[in-house]
Structure 1
Amino acid sequence: MITLFDLSGKNDLRFSPYCWRVKYLLNFRKIKYQTEPTCFTDRLNNTFFGDARLPTITDDGIKISNSFNIAEHIENKYVDIDQRIINSENKSSLYFINHWSDHFLNASILERVAYDIISVLDDKDIEYFIESRSKRFGMSPKDFQACNMKKSENSFYKCCNFLDKILENQRYLLGENITYAEMIVLGSFTWGEKVSENTQIEKKFERLSAWKNELTIRLGH
């Protein structure tokens, strides 16, 4: 059985967008798996992980990290070639969605939740998170979030608008069928809503909201 090392916080909250990508794919494929709750400092202090980040899985003695690599492994091992939602025809598009989500959608969410995340962390992770993110941001998470929330330019709104436009003439992000693009983007929205109230999709984005609601029900939350 697959074991997924899953980022966890206070009261066993699971909030990593990258871990959710993998869980949504496993749920979609109805593949049995178990999760191992893993805090930030658990990963840092466990030599098992080395340089690997979360998510990491073990499957029949093989250790794999990086959500996209894990997704490819799952599809290649457990799914017939003609049924795979990561394939030679869509992989370039999936690389684009993966990169866009990592560097634009996730960045826009982080601007709005960086400080709120602290309230859902396990106590032993709080000092590490504040120190590491303060170094990354050049200011405290509290100031980083406050500054971004005051900006007239709302990057999260722009990302939602971009996705809503894509869904204007098609049911899913790459066409009329579910692909791994759904898991990538849904994982980001799940992260946002698990840790804060600042990433609610505006009502005007009806297509995006309908897409999210359908997939949340279909893939599990």
Structure 2
Amino acid sequence: MTITLFDVPSKFEGQAFSPSTWRIRYILNMRNIPYKTEWIELPDIESRSKGLGIAPTGLKPDGTPFYTIPFIHDPSTGIYLSDSTHIAEYLEKTYPGPSSIFPHNTLGLQSPFADLFFSTALPALWKFIIPSLYEILNPASGAYIRATREKLFGQPLEEMTPKGALGDAEWAKFREGLGKVDVWYSKTSGPYLLGDTISWADIVVVAALTLMKVVWGEDSQQWKDISSWHGGRWGGLVDDFKKYTNVV
């Protein structure tokens, strides 16, 4: 039976960008688990989730439930499940592969990795990438991003990207953030955080890098910069996952 993966579309047919959903898409593709994508615009996620009885993944500042992608429906078990880490754990148990993404009982250690990675590596990224993300979204999702991110950052999208000397300084901060993660990788004996084994932590990193490559494009100066940093580590990781990037 075929799993349904719920994701947000872009203007480009069949092009996925959400890093949270790419985490799950990579696992499905790596394990050859049959699935299909159902596309939902950002402002429709809450109503669709409620309609399917899918649990919220957090709370909004006002204390009301917050619903996010990804979520899945697996008809073989009847489950509807949200939150990428919970989905990954479910897929690991229900559809085990030849190698585990949580090897050596590392589920407890790896579960908080996404939050750690985002807070360490990506704080300086968002003002650069959000205006570019807006450009590839359909009107409904674009309007949602504009309203929510302009409120969050206190400035219009058109003024959000740092320019000039400030832009250079903020871009350098982004590189420094990824540099901290590069140190983690440099302490292993292989290309991945657990050596020669792809784990959940690597999937989290590559999913975020995939957002950057998709939004800016492979030939953009931004991606050329990122993919070359730290000895080409980030471009190399994305290349390693290229065979798992199909969108169905």
Please list every run of 5 or more consecutive structure 2 residues that lacks an aligned counterpart in the other structure: 57-66
1:48 aligned residue: 51
- What is residue 100 of structure 1 aligned with on the other side? 116
Partner of 1:180: 200
| Structure 2 residue aligned with 1:160 | 178
Further displaced range: 33-42 or 137-146: 137-146
Evaluate the alpha carbon distance shift between residue 120 and residue 58 of structure 1 in structure 2; reply closer, same or farther with a 3 A threshold.
same
Query: So what's the TM-score if we normalise by structure 2?
Result: 0.78
RMSD between aligned alpha carbons? 2.5
After superposition, the C-alpha distances for 1:185-206 in whole angstroms (9 at most, x for unaligned) are: 1000001121124354152422
Flag structure 1 segments of 5+ consecutive residues without an equivalent.
none
- Whether the aligned pair in 2 keeps the contact of 1:3 and 1:57 (CA below 8 Å) is yes
1:36 pairs with 29, 35, 38, which one? 38
> Which of 55, 65, 71 is matched with 2:88 structurally?
71
Secondary structure, counterpart of 1:172 in structure 2: coil
Aligned positions, number: 220
Distance across 1 between alignment mates of 2:207 and 2:125: 12
TM value normalised by structure 1: 0.86
Flag the 1:114–1:147 CA change in 2: closer, same or farther, 3 A: farther
Taking a change above 3 Å as real, the CA distance of residues 44 and 89 of structure 1, as seen in their structure-2 partners, is closer
Which position in structure 2 is the counterpart of 1:110?
126
Deviations 1:81-108 (A, max 9, x none): x842225622243134222223333433
- Residue aligning to 1:193: 213
Do the aligned residues in 1 keep the contact of 2:21 with 2:70 (CA within 8 Å)?
yes
- Is 1:58 aligned to 2:70, yes or no? no
Q: State yes or no: 1:8 paired with 2:9.
A: yes
Question: Could you tell which deviates more after superposition, 62-71 or 100-109?
Answer: 100-109
Partner of 2:60: none
CA distance in 2, matches of 1:104, 1:201: 16
Q: Identify if the C-alpha distance between structure 1 residues 9 and 214 changes in structure 2 by more than 3 Å, giving closer, same or farther.
A: closer
